[in-house]
């Protein structure tokens, strides 16, 4: 189960995020990016953050650690922004938090270089979870202490919005041509060989156990939270076996700006800049 903390101070909204996540301090002295249950995107976004965030970490990818955060909306009373006030009021009780990475920079494909192996692992993982939100327009990756961190897994697993045609979901191809790491020659085959065998029923069962029951209740067509968890396990298990062969890294539309000169670029993941 995820650790549970209580928010004690609302610090500031993160306006880059469509769901208006906020930075909060909690009673364990930690600082977290808080994603609110009252946000318009709905609780499925938070379920996706937990399933994908925990799975990514188990595969050795860098994803900030997650916590359950209890919120008393009273902590935001002095917040002047009406939109924030309303979000807090609608989000009393359980919410999701992730470790705040202080001083991190948004990943810029023109300024940072990523190796083919690491790029392959990220692309394969995104193919597994059907992530449509890691494009060069919206990379949803941070560079922190010279390493790549993955954030924002809310727009993944499209199949959980209807739970119909699950057999199709398991076999759905992944078009990575707009993926922010597509230009780094991602070695998807090597990633599939290394990561697919790690995805077992046991591992996935552990991962989905971290999703709070509260976000899985009353799911139409399911007989309680454990039945929903089971559905996540089944699709991901089946997808993991073959998705690597169904990733396309085609040509892009060509609207992207040209790269920074070689001497201005920095390698992530410990490699020295050239
Ligand atoms: N763990 C973190 N540490 C530091 N900054 C973060 C962290 N998580 C998110 N951010 C910052 O907050 C922004 C918004 O976060 P995120 O993308 O998760 O929100 P969102 O509402 O889901 O966004 P989107 O509009 O992409 O759907 C990020 O672009 C990043 O700048
Ligand atoms: Mg985002």
Residue 105 and residue 157: Cα distance in Å, rounded?
26
Candidate from 13-27, 54-68, 121-135 with smallest mean pLDDT = 13-27
3-class SS of residue 99 = strand
Residue 54 and residue 121: Cα distance in Å, rounded?
16
Q: What is the pLDDT of residues 136-173, one digit of tens each?
A: 899 999 999 999 999 999 999 999 999 988 888 889 99
Pick the residue whose CA is nearest to atom 20 on ligand 1: 17
Residue 199 and residue 55: Cα distance in Å, rounded?
9
* Distance from residue 152's CA to the centre of ligand 2 (Å): 5
The answer to whether the CB of 249 is under 6 A from ligand 1 is no
**What share of the chain has pLDDT > 70, as a percent?**
93
For the cut 70, the answer to whether the pLDDT of residue 235 exceeds it is yes
Q: How far is CA 157 from CA 53, 114, 200, in A?
A: 12, 25, 18
In whole angstroms, what separates CA 44 from the centre of its chain?
12
The answer to whether the CB of 100 is under 6 A from ligand 1 is yes
Helix or strand run (H / E) with residue 30 = none
Report pTM. 0.93
Instruction: Give the pLDDT band (50/70/90) at residue 274.
Output: very low
Residue 166 and residue 243: Cα distance in Å, rounded?
15
Pick the more confident residue, 274 or 104: 104
The reported pLDDT for the residue numbered 77 is 86
For the cut 50, the answer to whether the pLDDT of residue 185 exceeds it is yes
Q: What is the pLDDT of residues 51-74, one digit of tens each?
A: 999 999 999 999 999 999 999 999
The answer to whether the CB of 41 is under 6 A from ligand 1 is no
The answer to whether the CB of 156 is under 6 A from ligand 1 is no
């Amino acid at each position: 189960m995820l650790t549970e903390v209580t928010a004690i101070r609302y610090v500031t909204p993160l306006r880059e995020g469509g769901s208006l996540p906020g930075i909060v301090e909690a009673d364990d002295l930690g600082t977290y990016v808080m994603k609110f249950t009252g946000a318009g995107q709905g609780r499925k976004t938070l379920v996706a953050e937990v399933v994908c965030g925990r799975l990514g970490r188990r595969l050795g990818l860098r994803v900030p650690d997650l916590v359950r955060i209890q919120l008393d909306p009273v902590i935001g009373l002095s917040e002047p922004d009406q939109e924030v006030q309303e979000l807090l009021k609608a989000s009393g009780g359980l919410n999701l938090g992730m470790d705040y990475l202080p001083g991190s920079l948004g990943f810029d494909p023109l300024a940072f270089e990523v190796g083919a192996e690491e790029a392959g692992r990220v692309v394969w993982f995104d193919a597994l979870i059907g992530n449509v939100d890691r494009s060069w327009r919206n990379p949803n990756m941070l560079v922190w202490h010279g390493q790549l961190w993955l954030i924002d897994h809310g727009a993944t697993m499209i199949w959980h919005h209807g739970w119909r045609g699950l057999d199709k979901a398991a076999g759905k191809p992944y078009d990575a041509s707009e993926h922010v790491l597509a230009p780094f020659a991602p070695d998807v085959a090597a990633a599939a060989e290394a990561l697919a065998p790690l995805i077992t029923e046991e591992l996935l069962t552990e991962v989905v156990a971290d999703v709070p029951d509260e976000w899985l209740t009353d799911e139409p067509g399911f007989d309680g939270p454990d039945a929903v968890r089971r559905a996540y396990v089944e699709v991901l298990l089946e997808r993991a076996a073959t998705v690597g062969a169904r990733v396309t890294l085609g040509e892009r539309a060509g609207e992207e700006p040209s790269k920074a000169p070689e001497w201005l670029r920095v390698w992530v993941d410990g490699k020295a800049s050239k």
